[in-house]
Amino acid sequence: MSVYVLEGLRPWVIQRVSAVYIALFILYCLYSLLTADSHDYAAWHGWIYQPLHTTLVGIFVIALLFHAWIGMRDVVLDYVHNIMLRIFVLGLLLGILIGSGLWTFRLLLLAL
Amino acid sequence: MKFRIYRYNPEVDKKPYVQEYELENIEPGMMLLAALLRIKDELDESLSFRRSCGEGVCGSDGMNINGVNGLACITPLDSLKQPVEIRPLPGLPVIRDLIIDMDMFYKQYRAVKPYLVVNDPMPEVELKQTPEQREKLDGLYECVLCACCSTACPSFWWNPDKFLGPAALLQASRFIEDSRDQAFEQRLEDLEGPFKLFRCHTIMNCVQVCPKGLNPTKAIGRIKHRMVTRSL
């Protein structure tokens, strides 16, 4: 595995596309919140486990994970110059993000 | 007029220090370079700095003036707050006083192959361009390689050996956009990877300090746009 997962142009494009999706998704969430009839747990549960919303949330999580990876990777590439330390920090970050992603998808899939 | 100037002679000084000078009889419209030359002539002949043309064409006298990189020869004294703080361009090793070691800057400049690559047999007369093709080079070819932009760029400070820097990337764009060049694909491929081009985070210090009023950030954006359209 390259220590610079995704390399140059691809992460730059993914970062921008994911940012647009995240922004649109947050706006949709705000709209749903403002137009909801009630704001209790049952209403939220009903909203998030509609197939469309589960899919949108799933895509949001993927976009967020990629966006977080690319942003943090950029910080590490800028400031951490020791190659072993860089591999360690990037590996740790990748582990945390993949773990968070798997955990979130487990929650989403459990309800289907 | 008061000046506070960074001094460092590695043969004598253990560490850099700031020396104060005061000049009388400042003439209206006088540039900073003229003041430095007068300090050198009248007050301290050991003060070292680079200069050549004296009119913003050669790019030799780039320095950090009151915290902002610029060319001393085209910086009017009456635009400066006193005391005028003068330091060498940041981010590169100091050879002496205001003179920096620009090897890394030139290494990155050479890395972008700043010349036309033509594989076809050369025509007998010249390589012609239409006025529209020539117009695309405006804002790209005027760079005088003073290094004000690259040494103002935090990404270049952190990775001067890997990130090409705004000056070299402006030159890369200048040849990518040139209709006579035949290495378009290769040039874009050479800029791939996380460091050479993509350490630019659009901070735009380069645009703020360029003494020629150029816009390296826009040129870098244009390269990225070319890369995206090429990959589609």
The closest alpha carbon to B211, from B30, B38, B63, belongs to B63
- Are residues B156 and B188 both part of a single domain? yes
pLDDT tens for chain A, 112 residues: list them.
455 777 889 999 999 999 999 999 999 999 999 998 888 999 988 888 888 999 999 999 999 999 999 999 999 999 999 999 999 999 999 999 999 999 998 988 876 6
Taking a contact as any Cβ pair under 8 Å apart, which residues of chain B between 13 and 52 contact chain A?
A: none
- Are residues B85 and B185 both part of a single domain? no
- Are residues B113 and B208 both part of a single domain? yes
In chain B, the residue whose alpha carbon lies closest to the alpha carbon of A12 is B198
| Nearest-CB residue to A9 (from B155, B201, B227) | B227
- Are residues B93 and B109 both part of a single domain? no
Residues of B in Cβ contact (< 8 Å) with A7:
192-194
- Are residues B131 and B187 both part of a single domain? yes
- Are residues B82 and B175 both part of a single domain? no
Domain of B181, in residue numbers: 103-231
Beta carbons of A9 and B199 less than 8 Å apart? no
In chain B, the residue whose alpha carbon lies closest to the alpha carbon of A3 is B194
- Are residues B95 and B160 both part of a single domain? no
Residues of A in Cβ contact (< 8 Å) with B199:
77-78
- Are residues B145 and B30 both part of a single domain? no
Q: Residue B187 belongs to a domain with what CATH number?
A: 1.10.1060.10
- Are residues B132 and B202 both part of a single domain? yes
Q: Confirm or reject contact between A21 and chain B (CB < 8 A).
A: no
Domains of chain A in start order, with CATH, are 9-110 (1.20.1300.10)
ipTM over 0.95: no
Domain boundary among B100, B126, B156: B100
* Closest-CA distance of chain A to residue B28, Å: 45
Q: Which regions of chain B are under pLDDT 50? A: none
Residue B72 · residue B53 · CB < 8 Å:
no
- Are residues B222 and B152 both part of a single domain? yes
Both tokens assigned to B32: 């900073």
Residues of B in Cβ contact (< 8 Å) with A4:
193-194
Residues of A in Cβ contact (< 8 Å) with B198:
8-9, 11-12
Q: Residue B81 belongs to a domain with what CATH number?
A: 3.10.20.30
- Are residues B64 and B115 both part of a single domain? no
Residue indicated by tokens 């002496």: B96
A17-46: per-residue pLDDT in tens? 999 999 999 999 999 999 988 889 999 888
Domain tally for chain B? 2
Q: How far apart are CA A19 and CA B47, in angstroms?
A: 51
Residue B87 · residue B72 · CB < 8 Å:
no
Q: Confirm or reject contact between B193 and chain A (CB < 8 A).
A: yes
Beta carbons of A78 and B155 less than 8 Å apart? yes
pTM: 0.90
The closest alpha carbon to B212, from B132, B136, B135, B149, belongs to B149
Predicted pLDDT at A31: 95
Residue B68's beta-bridge partner residues? B65
Predicted pLDDT at A1: 46
Residue A70 · residue A15 · CB < 8 Å:
yes
| Nearest-CB residue to A8 (from B155, B198, B201) | B198
Which one of A72, A77, A90 would you mutate to disrupt binding with B, by most B Cβ within 10 Å of its Cβ?
A77
Domain boundary among B100, B117, B152: B100
Domain boundary among B79, B100, B121: B100
Beta carbons of A4 and B194 less than 8 Å apart? yes
* Closest-CA distance of chain A to residue B138, Å: 26
Q: Confirm or reject contact between A74 and chain B (CB < 8 A).
A: yes
Predicted pLDDT at A112: 65
Beta carbons of A7 and B201 less than 8 Å apart? no
- Are residues B113 and B215 both part of a single domain? yes
Which residues lie below 8 Å from residue A12, measured CB to CB, with a gap of 6+? Answer: A70, B198, B224
